Structure 1
Amino acid sequence: MNLYPAAISNTMLCSAVLIGAVLGSFYACAVYRYIAGQTLINPPRSMCPDCGHQIKWYENIPLLSYIFLKGKCSACEVTISHMYPVIECGSILWAVLLLFAYGPSPLWIMYMFFGGLMIVASFIDLKTFILPDIITIPGSILAIPCAALFTNLGWEGAILGAGIGGGLFWSLRLLYRGLKGIEGLGLGDVKIMFMIGALAGPQNLPLVITVSAFTALCSGLIMMVVDRKREYGSMIPFGPFLALGSMLSILYAEPFWIWYLQG
């Protein structure tokens, strides 16, 4: 018996899980190497950052290797960062949810690509407070034609969304700096909003920004409760919350607006 919607077969679901896992492993590698100042091709093989042990192929199977190794390097037994399974699980979840939302379509491929960019950028931002130009600039450039060609936004909607998203955050950045004399939003947030705005379009941008701001506020309050030493106004990276708002919009904006307008 097929437990999934009629358009989604078990084979499609398994394929989405496999693709999500493999891409998640690549995303985690990209995050680690960027933070470590390495490139995707140098060093040619992944290694333990503590002892230099070269990772064997069977130690690099997404999720399974982490479980079998009990989260430790096989050579020195230092703890492997939880970032790896978290990113891999996130990538699998993204692939599966997109499959249910769009089926095996060009939109699935497009949103897998941009979702991957946002996952990598988010984890780099969490670690470094930087949204890398190598992700945000190409992503912004590609988002407009992709959204124009593969969604119902068209060129006008994609360009308008990018302009409003990036322009709004650029204005907020200047306003905050003028009022407070310090940076409240980084340029990386502005650049990634060009990409997010193009994908969301002007109609869904308010939804993206509202969800992003709300989740950032809730996370900040939770961190203040957990860490009593954290002061009000302490910086938190906003990129991950923008990515979360964008990804939720990609998945659920259409059913949300249908529910809202009918209610």
Structure 2
Amino acid sequence: MLRLAGSHVILYAATALVLVVPLSPLALGLGAVLIWASVVDVQTFEIPDMASALVFLFALYDVLFLHSVGFPWWDRLAGAVFWPAIFWGIAAGYKSLRGAMGLGFGDVKLMVGIGLFCGLSDTTYVVLGASLSAVILLAISRAISSWRRTKTPVGIAFGPFLTFAAWCVFLLEI
């Protein structure tokens, strides 16, 4: 677990350095919570409720007091409602069609805070970036498994893709 967490810290810090973004206490706190959520999701396929709550609280603090992202409050509120509703609809639809969970409710709850941070339109980049990177990783994993003639894991944790994409979009917005 320590190695996994360390690699996350290096990835998130390197991204901030490449984008040349000064990290405020809010950004540091958000990054720490996103890393925690990602590491736990990789290990357990669950995003801690406390992580989702903390992302929401950091976003709410930003909306009310800092205004570090240049979107009006109503756009950010729309992001906090629209994107979780979309994720919930996808999760419910998949479960009714396949009879199994495909997208967990932790992802839905996490999207409330991410939507509030990034707003309605920029959360599109989070979802697009997370989805594309997850599909690419899954395709590479399947290709390697096919080449090695081993079984590919059926599911992947989507939280790490969401958290890293949210981190990147947040850094580009501030």
Q: Is the 8 A contact 1:215 1:241 kept in 2?
A: yes
2:165 is matched with 245
- What secondary structure is seen at the aligned counterpart in 1 of 2:102? coil
Deviation at residue 230 of structure 1 after TM alignment: 2.8
CA distance in 2 between partners of 1:162 and 1:145 (Å): 14
Are 2:77 and 1:159 equivalent residues in the alignment? Answer: yes
Q: Is the 8 A contact 1:122 1:243 kept in 2?
A: yes
Q: 1:215 aligns with which of 113, 133, 142?
A: 133
Q: Deviations over 1:11-44 (max 9, x none)?
A: xxxxxxxxxxxxxxxxxxxxx5xxxxxxxxxxxx
- What secondary structure is seen at the aligned counterpart in 1 of 2:110? helix
**How many equivalent residue pairs?**
169
CA distance in 1 between partners of 2:85 and 2:143 (Å): 34
Q: 1:89 aligns with which of 10, 15, 22?
A: 10
In terms of fraction of residues, the more helix-rich structure is: 2
Q: Deviations over 1:50-94 (max 9, x none)?
A: xxxxxxxxxxxxxxxxxxxxxxxxxxxxxxx53254134235325
The structure with higher relative contact order (CA 8 Å, sep 6+) is 2
Give me the TM-score of the superposition, normalised by structure 1. 0.58
CA distance in 2 between partners of 1:120 and 1:226 (Å): 28
The runs of 5 or more residues in structure 2 that have no matched partner are: none
CA distance in 1 between partners of 2:14 and 2:31 (Å): 11
Deviation at residue 124 of structure 1 after TM alignment: 1.0
- Two-structure CA RMSD over aligned residues (Å): 2.3
**Identity within the alignment, %:** 24
Q: 1:206 aligns with which of 124, 129, 132?
A: 124
Q: 1:188 aligns with which of 106, 114, 118?
A: 106
CA separation of 1:84/1:122 partners in 2, compared to 1, >3 Å: closer, same or farther? closer
CA distance in 1 between partners of 2:133 and 2:107 (Å): 16
**4+ residue runs over 6 A deviation:** none
